[in-house]
Amino acid sequence: MFHNYRFRNYNMRLVIAVLALTIIGIFVIGSADADYQNRQIIGMVLGLAAMFVISLIDYEFILKFPWIYYAGTNLLLLSVLVLGDNTKGATRWIDFGFIRFQPSEAGKVLLVLFFSWYLMEYEEDLNTPKRLIITAILAAVPLVLIVEEPDLSTTIVTFMVIASLMFCAGLSYKLVAWALGIGIPSIGVFLFLIANRGISFLDSYQMLRILAWLRPEDYPESSYQQQNSIMAIGSGQLLGKGLYNTSSDSVKNGNYISEPHTDFIFTVAGEELGFLGSLAIIAIMLWVSCECIRVAKKARDLSGQLICAGIASIIGFQGFVNICVVTGLFPNTGLPLPFVSYGLTSLVTLYAGIGFVLNVSLQAKKY
């Protein structure tokens, strides 16, 4: 379970990058809503503790209990539908009074652990019809539970993470080509039908968000959040208006953006830190993802590679979707920016994920 690791092999580049991103987030959260800053600091401390402890536990030992992670994820997701706290039409949290827990955030990391074991176990027959069907069923169960919350954005990110793991495990290029060949045109047709109001299986709020994204001038009441976000980011120009500013022309100070400390934290960063500050956040997030991939390349076995690739995928895809939303490139949807947005569940589970990557790094192949 524990090994006598050499701490000179501890990946301090990854730790420094994650800390830098979190500290920037703490300052921006304090500027967005000071009430949440101290809680985020507590989350960082808890996350660091979880990361350090997990980094010392042999990941091979952790992967001895894959079905517990899978069953636990599904039970957590099912419990939130039964016992969860409904907020703004969505049931995504379980409220314990002193803390609110979001199972889907922890579920993403647990699913990375499960599929890292599963895909290594069945690597040889991954591309057979039988294995593909079983894998699709195993992936569908948690995805359906997440979409029922409803949380379409997290469902899409989780799906992309699982798909990335399958690709890294050796999914046939022909299957990938077929999936892209069918999927990309289908998305185009899907958007065309929505634009012409020809889709009925989506919820009304989902339809409205997509229509407001496609034709913001026709749906000003639904598109104002993204339009204000774009205006705020643009107003920051090169260097921004400064953190904690009291400028009367600030979009944030005028309360024109809801959830500025969570889903739209990048908007605040763009307005107050400017283009250079926003670029720094993106660069550090890319650094974290690339460092995870670098560790994956040196991992001693496939399961270690998949753990690192999975955590890199969570950070990369989630960060990409969040930034696309606040800049108007994607329809409006709620998804936190990794390590930057306020949210203790998201922050601590991401730190735990980094802990797994650090353990893989400590056991890397010697060259």
* Helix count and strand count (H, E) for the chain: 13, 3
Q: Where are the alpha helices (DSSP H) in 196-264?
A: 204-214, 220-235
pLDDT value, residue 22: 96
Half-sphere exposure of 238 (CA within 13 A, CB side): 0
| Nearest to 252, CA basis, from 225, 279, 281 | 225
Tokens linked to 6: 């050499």
Question: What's the pTM?
Answer: 0.91
Question: What end-to-end distance do the CA atoms of the chain give, in Å?
Answer: 24
**Structure confidence by residue, pLDDT tens digits, 57-93:** 999 999 999 999 999 999 988 888 877 666 665 667 6
Residue ranges of E strands in 89-240: 90-95, 100-101
Tokens linked to 298: 């040196």
What are the extents of the domains in the chain?
Answer: 7-361
220: preceding bond cis by omega (within 30 degrees): no
Let me know the angle formed at the C-alpha of 273 by 353 and 209, rounded to the nearest 5 degrees: 70
Q: What size, in residues, is the chain?
A: 367
Q: What is the DSSP letter of 240?
A: -
Whole-number mean pLDDT of the chain?
A: 87
**Structure confidence by residue, pLDDT tens digits, 265-316:** 999 999 999 999 999 999 999 999 999 999 999 998 999 999 999 999 999 9
- Using DSSP's 3-state secondary structure scheme, residue 85 falls into strand
| Amino acid making up residue 263 | D
**Structure confidence by residue, pLDDT tens digits, 9-64:** 788 999 999 999 999 999 999 998 888 999 999 999 999 999 999 999 999 999 99
Half-sphere exposure of 260 (CA within 13 A, CB side): 28
